[in-house]
Amino acid sequence: MAAASDLLEAAQDAWTNLEPFAIAGSLRSNLILFCNQAIASFPQALEKGHPVANWLAVLMGFAETMASTAGDYSLLRIAAQYVYRLCLMGYNLSGVIPTETTALLDAYNDNL
């Protein structure tokens, strides 16, 4: 998979990029790695980052409770929707909090 050039591309490619992890049974661990790396860039004090941090919390909560079952497309569908929404939110805020959204893109490219 090629690295996403921006968060809009990351959002659009969420299913494609997550599917190999779902097939291999490592979707849960990759989502947790992604969330842990990304959340560091969105402290509570960064009020303009709350929408992204909120989606990261939703994704992390989902990842922590999901089974690590290989090939479970129902879990992949939910994860892809959350990653899509998270990346799209980040893309829309990229002009407001550019450093933080760049860190989000880096976390996406590093882990997903």
pLDDT tens for 62-108 read 999 998 788 889 999 999 999 999 999 999 999 899 999 999 999 99
Cα 39–Cα 8–Cα 46 angle in degrees, nearest 5 = 30
List pLDDT tens digits, range 44-68. Answer: 888 888 999 999 999 999 999 998 7
Question: Looking up tokens 């997550």, which residue turns up?
Answer: 18
Whole-prediction pTM: 0.93
